Amino acid sequence: MKSLFLRQHSVLPGFGLALGFTSLYLSTIVLIPLSAAFIKTAVLSWEQFWSIVTASRVVASYELTFGASLLAATINAAYGLVVAWVLVRYRFPGKRVIDALVDMPFALPTAVAGIALTAIYAPNGWIGRILLRWGIKVAFTPLGVLVALVFIGLPFVVRTVQPVLEDLEADLEEAAATLGADRWQTFTRVIFPTVMPALLTGFALAFARAVGEYGSVIFIAGNMPMVSEITPLIIITKLEQYDYTGATAVAVVMLIVSFLLLLLINCLQWLSRRREAAA
Amino acid sequence: MSMTWDDVGTAEVLLGFSPTPAVRRGAREEPALARIALIAVAFAFLTLFLFVPLVAVFTEALRKGWSAYITAILEPDAWSAIKLTLLAAAIAVPLNLVFGVAAAWAIAKFEFRGKSVLITLIDLPFSVSPVIAGLIYVLIFGLQGWMGHWLSDHDIRIVFAVPGIVLATIFVTFPFVARELIPLMEAQGNEEEEAAVVLGANGWQVFRRVTLPNIKWGLLYGVILCNARAMGEFGAVSVVSGHVRGQTNTMPLHVEILYNEYNFAAAFAVASLLALLALVTLVLKTLVEWQVNRQLKGNENEH
């Protein structure tokens, strides 16, 4: 195995064991089970598969899932950039606590987030009550889905942009100012292009997470077919009806989208690393 | 320490670089009004989406008073959910820890073919919907699944029972430790380990005496995140659990059941335990992060 894989001789021991165990564990837990989904779907003819994954109720769920995820990731990109900027550049009381709390959506179980957001944004909740006065209903509508997805995607952009802002060289901005640029010009022409790859990576990560999200959404969504039903819920509903093939077919569509997103994220990260190396 | 809204560019202070005040103000700072506006926007966003939900969990949990709160937590079904959650995490976290160390050892210490593919595959569980993570185990171990017949002949239950819950938990927490360790061990290089081997240490000694002390904080960091996710997982576990009260319900699933029964105070009481876990996780994580940074700085100073 060593001679087959190793590119460079090393005096360190344990390569065969470590790589062997890693591959075995990865295959057992992740790869073989995931391939089960594709193999299960292979029993369907193309027409059968196509009619399952393009049924109107399923298509409505894609529109909601991908639309709300895209919108949530965009909101997170905009506000995440502001939060990262404020945390890196300014000093204010409670800054370290807030910095730590940004990771809350990573640490808080999604079911807890789901019921908490529902309680707040329900028509009789703290914020829902105020919004209802303006005629806006959040909980049990597609807007509720958006709120949940913004919550779970919140840390991604902040955490990818923060280190880039921290490493930003002061002389670039000073040079821009010396050459007569005002603050807004410096931001749009100097800072923003540098931050852009990280911002895109954070956006893609938030989007990928939102597409697959289940726990925080189902409580607040209301789960009405054709209106506020997300794709992961379609899979669950089909499973509960013992329609394993149908559930798996929809899952395969989602898996393909996830793989494409993963590929995109890897490309983005590779690009930003190359930029860094060039600079 | 005086807290001011005024921030002198820290880089300039550190570099001992002090241009004329006029240039410095303009160069790295926005006008005061813009600064306050940006901080206000950040605060409003975080309040709406982070702080209010967190406060709501505890307020709702205590809505019917402390005695109702305690009853909800000590109730037998809640108790068995707590135990099952702890059990699932106690199996999943150590397994993923061993895997993470093995994967990081192979990836960070050696150059081999297919390395970047392997790294991508390790990240895979993060981009798979939790619902699908549960589904794939049903496809293999469920009654209609590949191994369904064999398992039912031998009277072994995996899906809709505890082993399925553990498997789903392992899947969703799979990358955490490996992901934390790979960049850390890559940054530390091979020199210390190579020196130990040349001096006659065996593999285990090299790992225990040289590598482990260098990665212990990073390792702990990965374990903390892995544990938080393991205890809080909902979607994947929900698919494979079978939802038998008192038997195959984890804490998040118990929260769901109580909530769907309109027993809101009890649902939020159990949820508040999970929220406390999240807060403890964040505190530990911050402390460990601080240690990792200190260690990295120490390493830099040595070289």
Instruction: Give the helix, strand, coil percentages of chain B, each rounded to 5.
Output: 80, 0, 20
On chain A, the residues whose CB falls within 8 A of the CB of B285 are: 100, 103, 107
- In this predicted structure, the answer to whether residue A1 has a pLDDT above a threshold of 80 is no
Q: Tell me, what's the pLDDT at A3? A: 57
In this complex, the residue of B54, B60, B103 whose CB is nearest that of residue A104 is B54
Contact B136 A6 (CB under 8 A): no
Instruction: Tell me which residue of A17, A141, A155 sits closest to A68, measured CA to CA.
Output: A141
**φ/ψ of residue B72, rounded to 5:** -60, -35
Between CA B91 and CA B74 the distance in angstroms is 24
Least confidently predicted of A121-135, B39-53, B123-137, B284-298: B284-298
Least confidently predicted of A233-237, B31-35, B176-180, B283-287: B31-35
B139 neighbors A40 (Cβ within 8 angstroms): yes
Least confidently predicted of A5-19, A37-51, A190-204, B9-23: B9-23
Least confidently predicted of A175-184, B66-75, B124-133, B163-172: A175-184
- In this predicted structure, the answer to whether residue B274 has a pLDDT above a threshold of 70 is yes
Place of tokens 């061993």: B98
Instruction: Tell me which residue of A153, A161, A179, A235 sits closest to B26, measured CA to CA.
Output: A179
Nearest Cα of chain A lies from the Cα of B87 at a distance, in angstroms, of 17
Span A23-46, average pLDDT: 93
Structure tokens at B15: 């570099």
Q: Tell me, what's the pLDDT at B156? A: 86
Between CA A212 and CA A220 the distance in angstroms is 16
Nearest CA in chain A to B231: A109
Using DSSP's 3-state secondary structure scheme, residue B7 falls into: coil
Using DSSP's 3-state secondary structure scheme, residue B216 falls into: helix
Q: What ipTM score was computed for the predicted complex, to two decimals?
A: 0.89
Instruction: Tell me which residue of A187, A110, A112, A175 sits closest to A149, measured CA to CA.
Output: A110
> Is the pLDDT higher at B277 or at A273?
B277
Structure tokens at B225: 């995140």
Quick count: other Cβ atoms within 10 Å of Cβ A11? 11
Cα A43 to chain centroid distance, Å, stands at: 31
Q: Tell me, what's the pLDDT at B99? A: 97
> Is the pLDDT higher at B166 or at A194?
B166
Structure tokens at B44: 């409003």
Structure tokens at A242: 């013992």
- pTM for the model stands at 0.89
Q: Is B77 on the interface with A (CB under 8 A)?
A: no
Instruction: Tell me which residue of B201, B175, B183 sits closest to B296, measured CA to CA.
Output: B183
Nearest CA in chain B to A35: B136
Quick count: other Cβ atoms within 10 Å of Cβ A146? 22
pLDDT per residue as tens digits for the range A182-240 = 888 888 888 888 898 889 989 999 999 999 999 999 999 988 889 899 999 999 999 98
Between CA B150 and CA B147 the distance in angstroms is 5
- In this predicted structure, the answer to whether residue B126 has a pLDDT above a threshold of 70 is yes
Task: Please report which confidence band the pLDDT of residue B146 belongs to, taking 50, 70 and 90 as the band edges.
Answer: confident
B103 neighbors A18 (Cβ within 8 angstroms): yes
Span A21-36, average pLDDT: 94
Q: Is A213 on the interface with B (CB under 8 A)?
A: yes
Q: Tell me, what's the pLDDT at B154? A: 87
pLDDT per residue as tens digits for the range A41-67 = 998 999 999 999 999 999 999 999 999
Q: Tell me, what's the pLDDT at A75? A: 97
Instruction: Tell me which residue of A49, A25, A19 sits closest to A256, measured CA to CA.
Output: A49
Q: Tell me, what's the pLDDT at A279? A: 63
Name the burial class of residue B271, with classes exposed (0-12), middle (13-18) and buried (19+) by CB atoms within 10 angstroms of its CB. Answer: buried
- In this predicted structure, the answer to whether residue B5 has a pLDDT above a threshold of 70 is no
Name every residue whose Cβ is closer than 8 Å to that of residue B157 and which is 6 or more positions away in sequence.
Answer: B151, B163
- In this predicted structure, the answer to whether residue B191 has a pLDDT above a threshold of 70 is yes
pLDDT per residue as tens digits for the range B226-260 = 999 999 999 999 999 877 777 889 999 999 999 99
Q: Tell me, what's the pLDDT at B21? A: 44
Between CA B77 and CA B166 the distance in angstroms is 19
Q: Tell me, what's the pLDDT at B27? A: 61
pLDDT per residue as tens digits for the range A236-275 = 999 989 899 999 999 999 999 988 988 888 888 888 777 7
Span B39-58, average pLDDT: 93
Q: Is B168 on the interface with A (CB under 8 A)?
A: no
Task: Please report which confidence band the pLDDT of residue B299 belongs to, taking 50, 70 and 90 as the band edges.
Answer: low
Query: How would you label B211-243 residue by residue, b for 16+ Cβ within 10 Å and e otherwise?
Result: beebbebbbbbbbbbbbbbbbbbbbbbbbbbbe
DSSP assignment, residue B207?
I
Render A157-216 in DSSP notation, one character per residue: HHHHHHHHHHH--HHHHHHHHHTT--HHHHIIIIIHHHHHHHHHHHHHHHHHHHHH--HH
Contact B109 A236 (CB under 8 A): no
Using DSSP's 3-state secondary structure scheme, residue A230 falls into: coil
Least confidently predicted of A136-140, B2-6, B143-147: B2-6
> Is the pLDDT higher at B248 or at B7?
B248
On chain B, the residues whose CB falls within 8 A of the CB of A177 are: 23, 26-27
Q: Which long-range contacts (CB under 8 A, 24 or more apart) does B89-93 make?
A: B89/B169, B89/B227, B89/B230, B89/B231, B91/B166, B91/B169, B91/B170, B92/B166, B92/B169, B92/B170, B92/B173, B92/B226, B92/B230, B93/B173, B93/B223, B93/B226, B93/B227, B93/B230
Contact B132 A104 (CB under 8 A): no
Instruction: Tell me which residue of B257, B276, B251 sits closest to B165, measured CA to CA.
Output: B251
Q: Tell me, what's the pLDDT at B293? A: 79
In this complex, the residue of B41, B112, B203 whose CB is nearest that of residue A5 is B112
Name the burial class of residue B257, with classes exposed (0-12), middle (13-18) and buried (19+) by CB atoms within 10 angstroms of its CB. Answer: middle
Give the angle A247-A138-A121 at the CA atoms, nearest 5°: 105
- In this predicted structure, the answer to whether residue B102 has a pLDDT above a threshold of 90 is yes
Q: What is the dihedral of CA A252, A255, A256, A262, to 10 degrees?
A: -170
pLDDT per residue as tens digits for the range A118-161 = 999 999 999 999 999 999 999 899 999 999 999 999 999 999 99
